[in-house]
Amino acid sequence: MNSEALQELDVKPLLLVPVLALAVLPFIESGATWLTLTVAGLAMGMIIFIIASGLTLVFGLMDVLNFGHGLFIALGAFVATSVLGAMGDWTGSDQLWRNLVAVLPAMLVAMAVAAAVGLAFERFIVRPVYGQHLKQILITMGGMIIGEELIKVIWGPQQIALPLPEGLRGSLLLGDAAIEKYRLVSVCVGLLVFALLAWTLNRTKIGLLIRAGVQDREMVESMGYRIRRLFVGVFVFGSALAGLGGVMWGLYQQSVTPQMGAQVNILIFIVIIIGGLGSTGGALIGSLLVGLMANYTGFVAPKVALFSNILLMVVVLLWRPQGVYPVANR
């Protein structure tokens, strides 16, 4: 990033996360408890970001209101239960590297299955209703409901346990604060996904086309690029990220249900609205704010936790009606 870009960067949204973290510190008696809640919030935020990052590009580039995104979350989680269940000897080992050898294939298979279903979802459900927002909402929600029922047919309607591999259980002590190992892994995976997205969007030709398409789709089409193929690629990639996020979320909750995608969907849309349509940087900030708010209010004021993220979204939109980093011209 050159000096001109640094000068143009709006730093105010970047301060929201540390300001929120410091603002709640006086309401939490123990510094160790505050640190534990903060790491838990960051981990939750990073998992939400993995899921939301693909969808915000779909919103920004394709102008598609995909309320069926939760299907790919649930699908990824259930695929992971099958893969990890078949590798019990590896997940039950005390050796971390054997655990990771089991978790990595589960993530890759979940992403592949979610991407394949996303390709079919775009072709048969989303494509016929391009440019028709009301129909998009109805048909994508219908697609998600049908997908949930198919998950029940394959895996059953009951909740399925998704225990953490042995090496990822337990906590690390940092002073008096207990930091769960898996939460640290979640933060690292989220940062890796963000770095990959940032590099792709800023350093590659395909990323340049995506960013240009988000800002001005007609201009990209007029230059002779086949924007439709780009649409499909972004949708499939977003579906794969949702599958990965589903694996991470399932391990975070240590259980999966067919309805889990619909439940997470609410948080995802709040994140996208806070961040600004089409902005991966905004999605990261929104995700971290949502994760921290959920954990802080759950500890300090449990009754407020039920609507805390809605309140957060309202406050941000009163400050910036188009989100913290709006990109798309919508």
Reported as a single tens digit per residue, the pLDDT across 134-185 is 999 999 999 999 999 999 999 999 999 999 999 899 899 888 888 999 999 9
Backbone angles phi, psi at 256, to 5 degrees: -135, 150
Residue 145 lies in a domain: yes
Residue 253 lies in a domain: yes
With bands split at pLDDT 50, 70 and 90, how would you rate the model's confidence at 230? Answer: confident
DSSP state of 26: G
Task: Give the range of the structural domain holding residue 184, as residue numbers without chain letter.
Answer: 33-319
5 pLDDT exceeds 60? no
Q: Is 6 helix (H, G, I), strand (E, B) or coil?
A: helix
256 neighbors 73 (Cβ within 8 angstroms)? no
Tell me the CATH number at 190: 1.10.3470
Q: What pLDDT is recorded for position 80? A: 96
4 pLDDT exceeds 60? no
Q: Is 31 helix (H, G, I), strand (E, B) or coil?
A: helix
304 neighbors 297 (Cβ within 8 angstroms)? yes
> What domain count does the chain have?
1
**Paired strand residues for 73:** none
Share of the chain above pLDDT 90, in %: 66
Output the CA–CA distances (angstroms, integers) from residue 275 to 51, 56, 207, 235, 286, in the order listed.
14, 9, 19, 19, 5
Q: What pLDDT is recorded for position 268? A: 94
6 pLDDT exceeds 60? no
Residue 7 lies in a domain: no
With bands split at pLDDT 50, 70 and 90, how would you rate the model's confidence at 51? Answer: very high
186 neighbors 103 (Cβ within 8 angstroms)? no
Q: Is the pTM of this model over 0.85?
A: yes
Q: Which residue has the tokens 């029940």?
A: 152
Output the CA–CA distances (angstroms, integers) from residue 271 to 281, 300, 305, in the order listed.
11, 22, 16
Residue 281 lies in a domain: yes
Residue 2 lies in a domain: no
Mean pLDDT of 100-115: 95
289 neighbors 274 (Cβ within 8 angstroms)? yes
Q: What is the mean pLDDT of the chain?
A: 90
Residue 84 lies in a domain: yes
DSSP state of 64: -
Residue 9 lies in a domain: no
Considering 38-42, 55-59, 173-177, the range whose residues carry the highest mean pLDDT is: 38-42
Residue 273 CB neighbours (<10 A):
18
Q: What pLDDT is recorded for position 2? A: 41
With residue 171 as reference, give the H or E element that holds it: strand 171-174
CA nearest neighbour of 72 among 123, 127, 112: 112
With bands split at pLDDT 50, 70 and 90, how would you rate the model's confidence at 329? Answer: low
Residue 222 CB neighbours (<10 A):
10
Q: What is the pLDDT of residues 265-296, one digit of tens each?
A: 989 999 999 999 888 999 999 999 999 999 99
252 pLDDT exceeds 90? yes
CA nearest neighbour of 287 among 214, 193, 217: 193
Share of the chain above pLDDT 70, in %: 96
Q: Is the dihedral of CA 122, 125, 127, 131 positive or negative?
A: negative
Higher pLDDT, 56 or 214: 56
Q: What pLDDT is recorded for position 1? A: 45
Q: What pLDDT is recorded for position 36? A: 94
Residue 276 lies in a domain: yes
Higher pLDDT, 262 or 223: 262
CA nearest neighbour of 46 among 200, 176, 150, 197: 197
Q: What distance in Å separates the CA atoms of residue 80 and residue 48, rounded to the nearest whole number?
A: 17
